[in-house]
Amino acid sequence: MKTSLIFATLGMAAIVLLLLFELRTARTDARQGAETRLSASIGGAFALTDQNGIRRSQADFAGRPMLIYFGFTYCPDVCPTALDIMGGALDALQQRDAIAHERLQPVFISVDPARDTPPVLRDYLAYFHPRLSGLTGSQADIDAVKSAFKIYAARGAAEDENGNYNVDHSSFFYLMDENNRYLAHFDHAITPEILAEKLAEKLSEER
């Protein structure tokens, strides 16, 4: 009877372990499935105009990963801070992984095309990093790329005495691979050093 009890206990333990393994596998599969759906849902084709007035599409960046930030040049604080972080991360990445730094293309896409013309973008981006590419376009162009990247942006109703207004918008860095497919996104409050570390990690996985 004692032997039967031992075998029964071992059998129950095996069943519990099997259930735990299946639960862990199911969670892993669910997480991977969610990541796959997210990868498929963010990003896509776009047709915009850069800071030099040249028409650009995703094909112009083919073969190079992109670090994309959506914002606007009249942004009082969040966008300048985010672009400073992006520039600092690029400099840190150069020290950490020169190959990843050389391949990565930083991109700023305006969510305020009415004011962010190519000359405005050119002057604005000159304050941040020399490798930044700025993109703008018609409202229809911007609406299309916002939809593709699941970006929220809406003009505020209030204007000051000079007609200036704010634009509420999502504030993330999007990392896209060399085929314009989503790899990761990072909150704008991240530090340049941590962003560089995560960029090096993600881009090394792609090589």
Residue range 48-101, pLDDT digits in tens: 999 999 999 999 999 999 999 999 999 999 999 999 999 999 999 999 999 999
Q: Per-residue pLDDT for 207 more than 50?
A: yes
Give the separation between CA 173 and CA 184, rounded to whole angstroms: 8
Per-residue confidence at 156, pLDDT binned at 50, 70, 90? confident
Strands (E) across 78-164 are located at 105-110, 133-136, 153-159
Q: Stretch 144-157: mean pLDDT, rounded?
A: 93
Average pLDDT, the chain: 85
Tokens coding 136:
């703008």
Distance of CA 23 to the CA centre of its chain: 31
- As a whole number of angstroms, the distance between CA 174 and CA 167 comes to 19
Q: What angle do CA 66, 72, 76 make, to 5 degrees?
A: 125
Would you state the pLDDT for residue 101? 95
β-bridge partners, 49: 55, 136
Residues 6+ apart with CB under 8 A from 33: none
Confidence of residue 158 (pLDDT cuts 50, 70, 90): confident
Average pLDDT over residues 186-198: 96
Residue 34 reports pLDDT greater than 90: no
Q: Is the pLDDT of residue 199 over 90?
A: yes
Give the pLDDT band (50/70/90) at residue 14.
very low
Other residues' Cβ atoms within 10 Å of the Cβ of residue 163? 7
The single-letter DSSP state of residue 1 is -
Cα–Cα distance measured from residue 99 to residue 149, given in angstroms and rounded to the nearest whole number? 26
pLDDT score of 20: 46
Residue 162, phi then psi, degrees to nearest 5: -100, 5
| pLDDT tens per residue across span 111-145 | 999 999 999 999 999 999 999 999 999 999 999 99
- Of all residues in the chain, the percent with pLDDT exceeding 70 is 80
Confidence class of residue 154 from pLDDT cuts 50, 70 and 90? very high
Contact 50, 134 (CB under 8 A): yes
> Residue 13 above 80 pLDDT?
no
Contacts of 76 (CB under 8 A, 6+ apart): 166
Residue 207, token pair as written in the block: 């090589």
